[in-house]
Chain A
Amino acid sequence: MSQSHSFDKSYLEDGTGFKSWFFTHDHKRLGVMYLWAIGIFFILAAIASFLIRFEHLTPGQTIVDAQTYNVLFTLHGAVMVFLFIVPGVAASFGNFLIPLMIGARDVIFPKLNLYSFWVYCAGAIIFLIALAAPADTGWTFYTPYSIDTGANVILVTFGVFVLGFSSILTGINFIVSIHKLRAPGLTWDRLPLFCWAAYATSLLQVLATPVVGITLLLLIGERYFGLGFFDPAKGGDPVLFQHFFWFYSHPAVYIMILPAMGIISEVIPVFSRKPIFGYKAIAYSSLAIALISFLVWGHHMFVSGQSKLINIIFSVITFAVAVPTAIKVFNWLWTMYKGSIELSAAMLYSLAFIFLFTIGGLTGLFLGALAADVHLHDTYFVVAHMHYVMIGGTVFGLFSAIHFWYPKMWGKMFDEFKAKIAFVLIFIGFNIVFFPQFILGTLGMPRRYFNYSPEFATLHQISTYGTWILGIGFIIMLYALLRPISNKAEANPYKSASLEWAMPSPPPTLNFEKIPTLTASTYDYGTKLEQEA
């Protein structure tokens, strides 16, 4: 690749055909491929969820039998978690943005980055074949059911094991890149908050993922060789599986949400034209979340039979993890206070994130309280809570990013009006789907049940109708994004101060012809400095 070739052409024009993409080392192309991949898996898992909800339109069988229902919710949960939301924002926008934001020409290990993508593809193929086999354990693979079931477990867990390597390698790449490749003047206290969030996410990916990998290997050993780690008859303990599983899977919740929080920290100052409030508090709260997230896994196990003492300890620490999260929400709100707010589609998704994630977070505290959890555990309340966090949080954050960085990524402009219509439908549809589930849960409707009592029918039906509105919203959003209104985007249409906007849209392959030197914060909106510029 010649030097002029790499700076004159955009990364989208620098080579065409399958090979130029599948063998690329370019972080931006890899980010885009991750985005397409997670997008396809999101649609697949969403279709499964529409079928699940359709099944619940009436008590008893509506469209599928009980076993198919089990397969569908396993497919939905497992694909959403392992193929969409864990790699999600970190692998797609992390890859695309981190080198641009830190003033580098690529990540520090570009070949490892490509390898990581290939491992993701291999893991995804294994995983999907295994799910089609089919699997029926749900995404948590709890013992003893996962040891005894006649459905497919080993291949699914092996797929997750392979996917874990991709996650670890991406995390290592981001951590080392942020340490070693920051442009001159880009000190830690000027590092964009998305990079701080990606850094904290990467720490979790590197430190927690090996634990689930080993746990799933133990499960495979248990099924193949009857090792007895989780079998009481052999001196083992099925609850030990849950300890190991949640030691990864609770931090994994923050692998999912932290990058989305980073996006919100980038979008809100731009569309409020104000410097971010409490930069250091937001940056360090990402690290605090990463740290504390390792200490709260037992709140998933309050009714598993674990001891009262450890229940109390985990409950107390769970309340602590709310503090750094609340710090972020407070700072985002204060950033907007007296700002010159522009309600673009990206900003609307960010505002919805704050609203919905706050509901998700606060209802998480209900579940962290021991007495309330005994009543609410394994009910639809939990389903609603985790969807308010995962969709209301992560997916709305991802949608905000897709709209905000669309001009930079594709060099085109989408129709804001259509995007806003889509937002309204998605926001309303989402709340119609999931808010009734809070009520269903408090009334005692268990989750993952094929059938339900007639008294729950109305709330189930409202929830199902919501999915139809949500689906129409998704289709309009896709239409708006896939049918741009202009094929020429400005370099910086939103007047952002961050480094990625200081280059043409879409960026050239090697990003910066000359590595920039930073002399000020990238959040100087509405200040004298910005007015002079």
Chain B
Amino acid sequence: MVNSNTYKQYFNIWLLLMFLTVITVGAAQFDFGSLNIPIAMLIASIKAGVVALHFMHLKYEDGMTWIFATYPIFLLFLLIAFSATDIFTRVVN
């Protein structure tokens, strides 16, 4: 680690997370149809990204740590992609 956040930055990030929580609750009040889950996932992903970057210090880490941190996202993509390929191309008699 070569750097880290100041207390003020941590406070601002906390405020941002609180704001995103309000957005999450607000979005739940409306029915976006098939977009309900993608919108909720998008907000949650932004929150997770902010936590990983700042509270978990990923922003200040080297390339190797980034590989370790992001590779599971690739695996999650594989799990969803292959399972979805099965489900959407399955022929049910």
Contacts and interface: CB of A to CB of B under 8 A. Distances in A.
B90 A306 contact: yes
A173 to B, nearest CB: 14
Given A207-B75, A294-B75, A310 B91 contact: no
Bin chain A's interface residue count.
20 to 34
B71 A207 contact: yes
A307 interface: yes
B83 interface: yes
Contact of B86 (A243, A247, A295): A243
Contacts of A307: 85-87, 89-91
Nearest to B90: A307
Interface in A77-135: none
A240 B85 contact: no
Interface in A284-304: 294-295, 297-298
A298 B86 contact: yes
A313 interface: yes
Interface in B22-63: none
Contact of B79 (A239, A243, A306, A308): A243
A243 B75 contact: no
A239 B89 CA distance: 14
Given A207-B71, A207-B72, A309 B85 contact: yes
A179 B63 CA distance: 13
Q: For chain B, what secondary structure do more than half of its interface residues adopt (helix, strand, loop), or is it mixed? A: helix
Contacts of A247: 79
B82 to A, nearest CB: 6
Given A307-B90, A307-B91, A298 B79 contact: no
A310 B89 contact: yes
Contacts of A297: 82
B16 interface: no
A310 B85 contact: yes
B15 interface: no
B82 A298 contact: yes
A237 interface: yes
A310 B86 contact: yes
Contacts of B89: 307-310
Given A207-B71, A207-B72, A243 B91 contact: no
A240 B83 contact: yes
A254 to B, nearest CB: 14
Contacts of B91: 307-308
A369 interface: no
A54 B89 CA distance: 45
A305 interface: yes
Nearest to A240: B83
A192 B20 CA distance: 48
Given A307-B91, A308-B91, A211 B79 contact: yes
Contacts of A207: 71-72, 75
Top 9 A-B pairs, shortest CB-CB distance: A307-B89, A307-B90, A310-B86, A306-B86, A243-B83, A309-B89, A307-B86, A310-B85, A247-B79
26 contacts: A179-B64, A207-B71, A207-B72, A207-B75, A211-B79, A237-B87, A239-B86, A240-B87, A243-B83, A243-B86, A247-B79, A294-B75, A294-B78, A295-B78, A295-B82, A298-B86, A306-B86, A306-B90, A307-B85, A307-B87, A307-B89, A307-B90, A308-B89, A308-B91, A310-B89, A314-B82
Interface of A: 179, 207, 211, 237, 239-240, 243-244, 247, 294-295, 297-298, 305-310, 313-314
